[in-house]
Amino acid sequence: MELKGKNVFITGSTRGIGWGLAEAFAKEGCNIVLNGRGEIDPALIEQIKAFGVCCIAVSGDIADFEIAGAMIKEVEAQLGTVDILINNAGITNDKLVLRMTGEEFQKVVDINLGGTFNMTQHVLKKMMKQRSGAIINMASVSGLMGNLGQANYAASKAGVVGFTKSVAREVATRGITVNAIAPGFIETDMTDCLSDKVKEAATANIPLQRFGQVAEVAQAAIFLAKHPYITGQVLNVDGGMVMQG
Ligand code: NAI
C-alpha cells in the first residue's frame, strides 16, 4: 500500500510506542489521528502537522464500545475514511495470579483485548465497503511465552494474537490485512517503572542484549502497512527473545 495521503488512526498515541508510530507514519506522508483517554495536548497535534500532514485528535476510552464507535464516526466525518487502524493502546497491572483480584484481571483484558475488538468492529464497517485497509494490533512477547506476574496482560495479548488471525481470515477477501506486532522490552514509560534488577534480568534474556527503541517498533508497523500480501502474521520486534518459525 502506498502510504502517502492515507489516514492512520493510532490508539494510545499521546506517548511511548503510539507517539513513535504517529511520528513515523507522518514522516511517510500519512494523516494522523491521535488518541488517548484524557485531553490531548494541542502541542502534540502541532508537532505532527509540522511534517506537512493533517492531524486531528479524538480522546476517549477504547474499552467503551459506544465511545469507540463515536470516535471512528467522528474521524470518518472529518477525514472521510480510516485507511489504517493501529490498535496500540494498552495497560499493565502486574501481580502474581494468587494475589490478583478479578477486577484487576478483567480491567487489563477489557482495555487490551476488548478495546481492540471495539475499535476493529467499528472501523471494519467502512473498510469492508472500501474493500481496502490495514489493521495492526499491538500484542506482546508476554502473550506468546507468558511472563511472571502478568497473567492478566499475557492473557489479553494472547487473545489479541488469536483475534488478529481470526479477523484476518474473515476480511481477507475484502482486501483488508490484519497483523500483529509482538514487541519485547521497548524503552517507554511502561518499562521505565521496572526496577534496575528486573531490567538487568530482562536484558540477560534478550539475545541482542538491549531493550528496543520505539522507532524500531514503528518501522515494523510501516513494513506491515505497506505489504498487501502479508496478513494474519505476528511480527516479533524483541531482540530475539522469541524465535519461532
Ligand atoms: P504507554 O503506557 O507508554 O502508553 C500507552 C498509551 O495508551 C497512552 O497514550 C495511554 O493514554 C493510552 N491508553 C491506555 N489505556 C487507554 C484506553 N483505555 N483508551 C485509550 N487510550 C488508552 O505504553 P507503551 O509502552 O507505549 O505500549 C504501547 C503498546 O505496546 C501497548 O499495547 C503495550 O501493551 C504494548 N507493548 C509495550 C511494550 C514495551 O516494552 N513498552 C512491550 C510489549 C508490548
The Cα–Cα gap between 44 and 13 comes to 10
Q: Where are the alpha helices (DSSP H) in the chain?
A: 16-27, 42-49, 65-79, 102-109, 115-130, 141-145, 151-171, 189-192, 196-204, 214-226
Asked if residue 244 belongs to a domain, the reply is no
Q: Which atom of ligand 1 is nearest to the CA of 90?
A: 32
Number of domains in the chain: 1
pLDDT per residue over 58-83, tens digit each?
Answer: 999 999 999 999 999 999 999 999 99
Ligand 1 centroid–CA 90 distance in Å is 4
CA distances from 192 to 16, 80, 189, 199 (A): 11, 38, 5, 9
Asked if residue 243 belongs to a domain, the reply is no
What pLDDT is stored for residue 180 in this prediction?
Answer: 98
The Cα–Cα gap between 141 and 153 comes to 11
Q: Whose CA is nearest to atom 31 of ligand 1?
A: 90
Ligand 1 neighbourhood includes 140 CB (under 6 angstroms): yes
Residues with catalytic function: 153
Asked if residue 241 belongs to a domain, the reply is no
For the entire predicted model, the pTM comes to 0.98
pLDDT per residue over 170-187, tens digit each?
Answer: 999 999 999 999 999 999
What pLDDT is stored for residue 244 in this prediction?
Answer: 79
What pLDDT is stored for residue 91 in this prediction?
Answer: 97
Residue 211 sits in a domain whose CATH number is 3.40.50.720
* Amino acid letter, residue 44: L
Asked if residue 245 belongs to a domain, the reply is no
* Amino acid letter, residue 228: P
pLDDT per residue over 79-102, tens digit each?
Answer: 999 999 999 999 999 999 999 999
The Cα–Cα gap between 11 and 35 comes to 5
The residue segments making up the domain with residue 192 are 7-236
The Cα–Cα gap between 170 and 2 comes to 23
Asked if residue 2 belongs to a domain, the reply is no
pLDDT per residue over 206-239, tens digit each?
Answer: 999 999 999 999 999 999 999 999 999 999 999 9
What pLDDT is stored for residue 117 in this prediction?
Answer: 99
User: How much is the mean pLDDT over the chain?
Assistant: 97
Q: Whose CA is nearest to atom 9 of ligand 1?
A: 12
pLDDT per residue over 107-162, tens digit each?
Answer: 999 999 999 999 999 999 999 999 999 999 999 999 999 999 999 999 999 999 99
